Structure 1
Amino acid sequence: MSLFETVATVGAGVVFGLALAAPPGPMNAVIAEESVVRGWQAGFTAGLGAMVADACFLVLSLLGAVTVVQRSPTLQGVMVGIGGLLLWYFAYDAVRDLSVTFQGDGAASNGRGFLKAFTLAITNPYQIVFWLTVGVGLLDPGRIDVLATALSPESPLAGRLIVRTGTPLLIAGLFAGIVAWIVAFPAALVAGRERVDRFAPAVAALSAIAFAVFGVLFVLDAIQTLL
């Protein structure tokens, strides 16, 4: 593998990691609530919980267990339903934080953000679908001609950007992208609102709404899957 191909493979992994971690959703609602209410360390710890769940999915994919889930709609429905119920509990938990001001002390969370993010991520249908589809593709050894795929095989740029799949470099890049997000996102929240106590209840309220809405979506998805 050439140096350019190595860099391209790692870079593609970073992009996949950011694409998995950055979109708005219940995971980032947990990170935002923990960051603003309890400080950067608590937000980062919550992000670690979600990343550990991804690591579990990676191991399960390597062992072939993801295929079992893929072939069992009932199991998928049960997992998603559990995720929906957890989201409703997290919405209630976020409501209790409405009276909390910014503390800036990650130790105050006692790791609850990690557990919240981990248990939610491990039952999150979006992460499950990612590892059942894109994740499996990333683990399957091969080569992707990015520009030929995006443009056309006849394009003069074909063969210029080759990414290898199924390599440790790609997976390392993916988790590097996730780490970059869970470091930068809480830091941005804390830096921007560090001295504004009124912002903490606002984030808690928005988090509660996000949890409740996603909880409804998860439960509806579970019902449709089971039926």
Structure 2
Amino acid sequence: MSAIVASLAAGIVFGIALAAPPGPMNAIIAEESVLRGWTAGFKAGVGAMLADVLFFALAAAGAVAVVVRYPTVQSGLYVAGGALMVYFAIGAWQGAREAASFTTDIETDATGFQKAFALSITNPYQIGFWLTVGVGLIKEGTLDVFAHVPAVGNALAGSLIVETGSPALLLGFFGGIAVWIVAYPAMLARVGERVDRFAPIIALLSGVVLAGFGALFLALGITGLR
């Protein structure tokens, strides 16, 4: 029982640690939360999480290995993902302008769920994670949890090593992501309600993050296609 609890707890920590760092998904969640409320932010998080579930199933079946096998496919995903990020960045900036002008009914062509899901399924980094570390979660062995977490990997590597192959670890991993997509939008929505000027600033910064990652992905994709 103690081993199951330990695996579950480690999975939760791993899920939160991977979901929390700044990036395109959190930019979409932040934009939706401050402009449209907790429900919209949560739905955006569910879109990203659903893509993770899909990638896990495909990776376990060996289907997405084609991305590694054919570099042109990977480059194409970079271009598609980068273009989507730039497009959504423009939408975030428009939302920031409308929020700053106190427009109460902010319309959007795509929901946060659709945007986060679309970005996730065209994200080569996310596919690469499930082809390597993600599939390893269900195979017997060991996993250095923090070594795969952006920003803190070098500093915390070796501090939390768990045995893989346990359903409890996988359950905890997705549970950790679920905790993040519930708590993060709630925090942002609450701050946005208390400070009216906070919403357009967050939307503006979300657009900057999306545009930055979009430019990076486009550059990587175009370079790979040459």
TM-score by length of 1: 0.83
- Asked if the contact 1:9–1:170 (Cα under 8 Å) also holds between the matched residues in 2, the reply is yes
CA distance in 2, matches of 1:96, 1:74: 33
Q: How does 1:157-196 map to 2 (within 5 A)?
A: 163-196=162-195
Residue 110 (structure 1) shift: 8.8
- Give the corresponding residue for 2:114: 115
CA RMSD of aligned residues (A): 2.7
- Give the corresponding residue for 1:31: 29
Change (3 A) 1:55 1:216: same
Point out the more displaced range, 7-16 or 161-170. 161-170
CA distance in 2, matches of 1:226, 1:137: 30
Q: How does 1:1-40 map to 2 (within 5 A)?
A: 3-40=1-38
Point out the more displaced range, 174-183 or 204-213. 204-213
TM-score by length of 2: 0.84
Query: 1:180 corresponds to which letter in structure 2?
Result: V
CA distance in 1, matches of 2:43, 2:107: 12
Point out the more displaced range, 81-90 or 63-72. 63-72
- Asked if the contact 1:37–1:100 (Cα under 8 Å) also holds between the matched residues in 2, the reply is no
CA distance in 2, matches of 1:73, 1:182: 32
- Give the corresponding residue for 1:132: 131
- Asked if the contact 2:16–2:180 (Cα under 8 Å) also holds between the matched residues in 1, the reply is yes
CA distance in 2, matches of 1:92, 1:162: 41
CA distance in 1, matches of 2:174, 2:143: 22
- Give the corresponding residue for 1:205: 204
> What SS is found at the alignment partner of 1:164?
strand
> What SS is found at the alignment partner of 2:142?
strand
- Give the corresponding residue for 2:43: 45
Q: How many residues align?
A: 211
Residue 111 (structure 1) shift: 6.8
> What SS is found at the alignment partner of 2:163?
strand
Change (3 A) 1:143 1:162: farther
Residue 168 (structure 1) shift: 2.2
Change (3 A) 1:64 1:145: closer
CA distance in 1, matches of 2:79, 2:99: 32
CA distance in 2, matches of 1:145, 1:98: 41
Residue 8 (structure 1) shift: 1.7
- Asked if the contact 2:143–2:164 (Cα under 8 Å) also holds between the matched residues in 1, the reply is no
> What SS is found at the alignment partner of 1:101?
helix
Residue 56 (structure 1) shift: 0.7
- Give the corresponding residue for 2:92: 94
Structure 2: 5+ residue stretches without partners: 145-159
Change (3 A) 1:111 1:177: farther
> What SS is found at the alignment partner of 1:117?
helix
